[in-house]
Amino acid sequence: MGNTSSMLTQYDIEEVQQHCKDAFTQQEIVSLYQRFCQLDRNNCGFIPSDEFLSIPEFAVNPLSQSLLRMLDGLNFKEFVAFLSAFSPRATLHHKIEFIFKVYDTDCNGKVSFHDVLRALRDLTGPFMSEKQREKL
């Protein structure tokens, strides 16, 4: 796969860059594309959830389920937009918006008590009782 950058034209790269609001340099987008192609083994244009779970570092992360929900069926442009929240060039507002989206599981634009409880449940697993979580 040494030549995947030739499959991305300059227009593509600029379009993706615009979409993620310049959070990544062009070289970074090329590397992300190589990574995307590496994960998207069947070349279907998106990465199946299974593939994410086969990365051990990702699978052991407590928040993997919530993230998988957001990552499902993303094409490359959306994939880069997703990761743009983690770029050092992303604004604080952007990052907070991202964290908000992770909490807001039912995508209604609001983070309710239940949403927070659910995230806490993911993070703590069986090591905290429901009552303790509610108390928090």
Partner 1 sequence: MNNLGTLKTSSSELDLDRPNIEDYLPSGSTIQQEPHGKLLLHDLLDISPTLSEAAGAIVDDSFTRCFKSNPPEPWNWNVYLFPLWCFGVVIRYLILFPIRVLGLTLGWIIFLSSFIPVHFLLKGHDKLRRSIERSLVEMMCSFFVASWTGVVKYHGPRPSRRPKQVFVANHTSMIDFIILEQMTAFAVIMQKHPGWVGLLQGTILESLGCIWFNRTEAKDREIVAKKLRDHVQGADNNPLLIFPEGTCVNNHYTVMFKKGAFELGCTVCPVAIKYNKIFVDAFWNSRKQSFTMHLLQLMTSWAVVCDVWYLEPQNLKPGETPIEFAERVRDIISVRAGLKKVPWDGYLKYSRPSPKHRERKQQNFAESVLRRLEEK
Report the interface residues with partner 1, using CB under 8 A. 1-2, 24, 27-28, 30-32, 34-35, 38, 52-64, 67, 71, 83, 86-88, 90, 95, 98-99, 102-103, 116, 119-120, 123-128, 132, 135-136
Supply the minimum distance, in Å, between the C-beta of residue 72 and partner 1: 13
CA-only gyration radius of the chain, Å? 17
CB of 101 to partner 1, least distance (A): 11
Q: Among residues 10 and 135, whose Cβ is nearest to partner 1?
A: 135
| DSSP class per residue in 31-46 | HHHHHHHHH-TT-SSS
Whole-number minimum distance, CB 9 to partner 1, in Å? 19
Query: Comparing C-alpha atoms, which of 102, 121, 136, 106 is closest to residue 62?
Result: 121
Q: Which residue has the tokens 């309710």?
A: 112
Specify the residue, 44 or 55, whose C-beta has the smaller distance to partner 1: 55
Q: What is the CA 114 to chain-centroid distance, rounded? A: 22
